Structure 1
């Protein structure tokens, strides 16, 4: 469920796609006279180059933007729509604080996709810069249809389709370690989940009856060091995130397992108009989580949950070439490896992706570039509307 987990990417899409696709009726209804129309025209134009730019519109609208968004995740049917009211509150520069301070963002969302999946929810990400505190909260109700794949005895691969009814609640808070730019934090997620097979016959061996109706209570500890110059579309900087989570009876979970996740995103300019990015990710699970929470490879061109295992490793590079101050071309190439218990390194599944796309700098003040990517995986193609950066988590 890539589109649900990527909260910052969802927020970005909601803010800027809505204005590019259509202005909502309440906004237009206030701009009926000539003076109003001129004012609106000025709000969506950059004062530096006169090009389409939404920075001033967001600021003058007190951060509120109504949203229409397109969902292109292959695992959710390849097409869907979402609507979301959004509020973005840029932070004023702190006199004694160096570096970039992200804005506070509040969002609601409702979505419907081609394979019958739907969800409603909302969340907020914010900070108290003077106190060195960041937080995220969110809740949703989701009815999602997903396919899972397993190798069967004859060596072939079989697809199993399931419906998931979920009610997740998430909260995260972190505190900066003084004079380090390193944040240490706690997070907790609780989700009640009902799983229903969308196929006839008995359940496959990799699923137990306990997993069909269960509670997940996940407590996590993390370290986050983020020196990117934007949470949206970075031009330079490094982010390192380490996360350890546990599920047990005392955390409110029906399962007993642990996870370890590592993430590195590095952006650096090779030339003034050439930005290079490197992504490294590792996900590991210990003991026995429910089948739908096994780590999976997340790369463009590969459906979510397509390649699962006890450990997944991903490396991807993305190159952005700025043709003008507004328009850019993007190319990317990635590799992933999935390890299953008792499999050697050589027997582990290998997958790849490659592709390209374009970007338009739609909000210069927020360093936001938006565009479309087309990607090829081992056995499928995918297309993606990207706001900010595809690697945002």
Structure 2
């Protein structure tokens, strides 16, 4: 639940500062206050009880270095609530399964919490955005709901056949609604998703090569079917299991779309516990489109260290690996690398330039009972560097 981006003490500073302000304002007893942020299992700083039992909010600061929108700042506030079953059984969710150095196949799978998030960002290119998100489960995780609404005003670059940057402005309001239903007692989920984006696009006096049938005001309304497969031990930062999602979308006038086009996406992540301290992650991501799709809605390669939408075309294929070393039950170091191609209109697959990104990072288990880790990734891509503040895995 993040986007882009402080030594280890600096990462924890925002959460600690917020807690200190609340403590001073309410004049709480020192012992009881510190107990809220101390894990009785290992005595480490931990926000599990504060988030689950004290109606706490997890602040996620965002130092944006995403090359697509420039440097800036953002902040997200995440509110967590345990599902009813977990509330009825205080022991549930407190298992050592949340600890990152536990890779046993016998450890129980954690039920995902309900999450409400509110956030915004602003960058030096005058790009900004605000959004509200809610994720909810019912009936012991048999029903999953995801809803989001946001407004953006982005100053971006479109890269044509020659890879030249052409500045443009993209603004609009977006809505996402999704409900998934578990099939029997299996790890399979299926359900509908609806996406709507009422956009306005502005280029300079000259329209760049590679864009056909350009329209300034475009509404993208897509209805689709989503199929998920989820055996992760934790939805935030898995140590084992698989998460895969297939989505087929159809943009038509009946869904509120100005253009008629189809899209199919398939992504799959698999985590292999090599030992109690080492975890190997594998990622595959693909996207395909047909019909009269707006240029900004086309699939693109997404990798740490690569500017978003720089490698964008009718189709895209991406692969990435990540190796994690759980130094302690709280701290983990990781290294990652990947490559991808966008092709189909501007380039054939063989002629398309290859995007690549690689780097390193760390995580701290900030909420053991929820399995939430926070940290920083530093990445290098074609001619650029970037760093990202992450909540859990970078793969979403």
Regarding TM over 0.5, the answer is yes
Do the aligned partners of 1:307 and 1:338 also contact (CA within 8 Å) in 2? yes
Encode CA deviations 1:332-358: one digit per residue, 9 max, x unaligned: 011112213384432122121111112
1:216 aligns with 2:216: no
Aligned-pair distance for 1:62?
2.0
Partner residue, 1:5: none
Partner residue, 1:282: 286
Which deviates the most, 337-346 or 241-250? 337-346
Aligned-pair distance for 1:59?
2.0
Judged with a 3 Å threshold, the aligned counterparts in structure 2 of structure 1 residues 292 and 17 are, in CA distance, closer, same or farther, namely farther
- The CA distance in 1 between the partners of 2:298 and 2:163, in whole Å, is 18
Aligned-pair distance for 1:74?
2.1
1:190 aligns with 2:196: yes
Partner residue, 1:48: 41
Encode CA deviations 1:75-102: one digit per residue, 9 max, x unaligned: 12133222x443211123499xx84321
Aligned-pair distance for 1:235?
0.8
- The CA distance in 2 between the partners of 1:26 and 1:380, in whole Å, is 38
Aligned-pair distance for 1:110?
2.3
- The CA distance in 1 between the partners of 2:277 and 2:114, in whole Å, is 29
Which deviates the most, 18-27 or 119-128? 18-27
Partner residue, 1:79: 72
Aligned length: 371
Partner residue, 1:90: 82
Encode CA deviations 1:229-265: one digit per residue, 9 max, x unaligned: 1111111111111000011112210111111100110
Partner residue, 1:160: 166
Aligned-pair distance for 1:10?
5.8
Superposed, 1:18-29 pairs within 5 Å as 19-20=14-15, 22-23=17-18, 27-29=22-24
Using structure 2 for the length normalisation, give the TM-score.
0.87
Q: CA RMSD in A?
A: 2.4
Encode CA deviations 1:259-298: one digit per residue, 9 max, x unaligned: 1100110011101100110000111111221110111100
- The CA distance in 2 between the partners of 1:31 and 1:342, in whole Å, is 60
- The CA distance in 1 between the partners of 2:324 and 2:140, in whole Å, is 34
Residue number among 136, 152, 173 corresponding to 2:146 in the alignment: 136
Partner residue, 2:242: 238
Partner residue, 1:252: 256
Partner residue, 1:389: 393
Do the aligned partners of 1:63 and 1:89 also contact (CA within 8 Å) in 2? no
Judged with a 3 Å threshold, the aligned counterparts in structure 2 of structure 1 residues 113 and 317 are, in CA distance, closer, same or farther, namely same
Judged with a 3 Å threshold, the aligned counterparts in structure 2 of structure 1 residues 157 and 181 are, in CA distance, closer, same or farther, namely closer
Using structure 1 for the length normalisation, give the TM-score.
0.88
Which deviates the most, 168-177 or 19-28? 19-28
Do the aligned partners of 2:286 and 2:315 also contact (CA within 8 Å) in 1? yes
Do the aligned partners of 1:361 and 1:369 also contact (CA within 8 Å) in 2? yes
Do the aligned partners of 2:334 and 2:361 also contact (CA within 8 Å) in 1? yes
SS at match of 2:290: strand
Do the aligned partners of 1:11 and 1:86 also contact (CA within 8 Å) in 2? no
1:124 aligns with 2:137: no
Residue number among 352, 359, 364 corresponding to 1:360 in the alignment: 364
Do the aligned partners of 2:263 and 2:290 also contact (CA within 8 Å) in 1? yes
Which deviates the most, 234-243 or 58-67? 58-67
Partner residue, 1:115: 125
Superposed, 1:333-344 pairs within 5 Å as 333-341=337-345, 343-344=347-348
- The CA distance in 1 between the partners of 2:59 and 2:346, in whole Å, is 50
Do the aligned partners of 2:131 and 2:148 also contact (CA within 8 Å) in 1? yes
